[in-house]
Amino acid sequence: MIPSAGQATTCGVPGVISWSHPGHRYALAVPAPGTGRTTQSPSGQVSVRSGPGTGAGGPERSRRMRRGLTPAHHTLGRPVELPDVRLVIARCSVDYVGRLTAHLPEALRLILVKADGSVQVHSDGGSYKPLNWMSPPCKVTEEPGRWTVTGKGGETLAIMISEVLSDTSAELGTEPGLVKDGVEAHLQELLAVQLGVLGDGWRLVRREYPTPIGPVDLMCRDGAGRSVAVEIKRRGEIDGVEQLTRYLELLNRDPLLAPVHGVFAAQEIRPQARVLATDRGIRCVTLDYDTMRGVEPDNTLF
């Protein structure tokens, strides 16, 4: 079954219309004159790549092979999976016309065309931020020496290319997402089984103890049997102290728990937060994440 054209996106292969589905990109080669290349962005807008077509043995086929793309004459009548991201290193100048105008003089830059339909122009500096870009959905018209990128609001990004050093495409596959280490959930898990960090004789009542405005991270009993609410943060700031204060106010209304004391635990506690917590009778505890998870510190003799 051929996917709908409303989900199509640029593929960069002459005579090929491409579609994007979650986790898949397909193309159907269509008979077309060698003077244009029609594709679409994820919004369903048409994009035309202009330029002469070439035969099976011409330079266009070689470029496609270097990019890892399947030549169009091998795909007639059947969908094939295409790369998602295109990276072009080129000497170019860039002009943006929209709510304001901006000009980038000619220099060697990276042009990035992503599967989500965005086009970005990067330099070697400036960290991860592009010099200029067009957010999706957008229409791309590619002609010899010139790319015109048109946004949904009519703004345009004109990229004038005088020299192409590299033009490659790649399929990145499914993104598993960023897994952070040392987040509050990890700290909560570790502290729940290492309550000795807070004092001798402590025991856990419940993790995520409910209150009318949300759960407090740990509800415990200290060595003397008193109720203690523990709020855990990676960085302890004033907002965290205010949050624990609200929890304590509500928990102390329960005669089965009151009086409830508070502990504000974090890997790092800002001085202002420590002052506020102390003023409200809340104890501050700095957590050593590496020690709690059993990581030996570097540069130690024993």
pLDDT for the residue numbered 279: 96
Tens-place pLDDT, residues 186-232: 889 999 999 999 999 999 999 999 999 999 999 999 999 999 999 99
Is the model's pLDDT at 7 over the cut of 80? no
Q: What is the mean pLDDT of residues 271-296?
A: 91
Six token digits for residue 213 = 């405005």
Is residue 116 very low, low, confident or very high in pLDDT (cuts 50, 70, 90)? confident
pLDDT for the residue numbered 35: 38
Q: What is the mean pLDDT of residues 131-154?
A: 91
Q: What residue type is 105 in one-letter code?
A: P
Is the model's pLDDT at 176 over the cut of 60? yes
Q: What is the mean pLDDT of the chain?
A: 76
Which backbone phi and psi does 275 adopt, to 5 degrees? -65, -45
Name every residue whose Cβ is closer than 8 Å to that of residue 191 and which is 6 or more positions away in sequence.
197, 198, 218, 230, 232, 265, 287, 292
Q: What is the mean pLDDT of residues 89-115?
A: 93
Q: What residue type is 188 in one-letter code?
A: Q
Q: What is the C-alpha separation between 243 and 231, in angstroms, rounded?
A: 8
Rg for the chain (alpha carbons), in Å?
29
**Which position has the token pair 């397909």?**
26
For residues 264 and 24, the model is more confident at 264
SS3 15: coil
Q: What is the C-alpha separation between 285 and 199, in angstroms, rounded?
A: 11
pLDDT for the residue numbered 42: 44
Q: Contact at 8 Å (CB) between 103 and 115?
A: no
Q: What is the C-alpha separation between 30 and 2, in angstroms, rounded?
A: 13
Q: What is the mean pLDDT of residues 106-123?
A: 92
Is the model's pLDDT at 58 over the cut of 60? no
Q: Contact at 8 Å (CB) between 282 and 263?
A: yes
Helices marked H in 79-135: none
pLDDT for the residue numbered 106: 96
Is the model's pLDDT at 61 over the cut of 60? no
pLDDT for the residue numbered 186: 86
pLDDT for the residue numbered 15: 38
Is the model's pLDDT at 19 over the cut of 60? no
Q: What is the C-alpha separation between 272 and 227, in angstroms, rounded?
A: 26
Is the model's pLDDT at 62 over the cut of 70? no
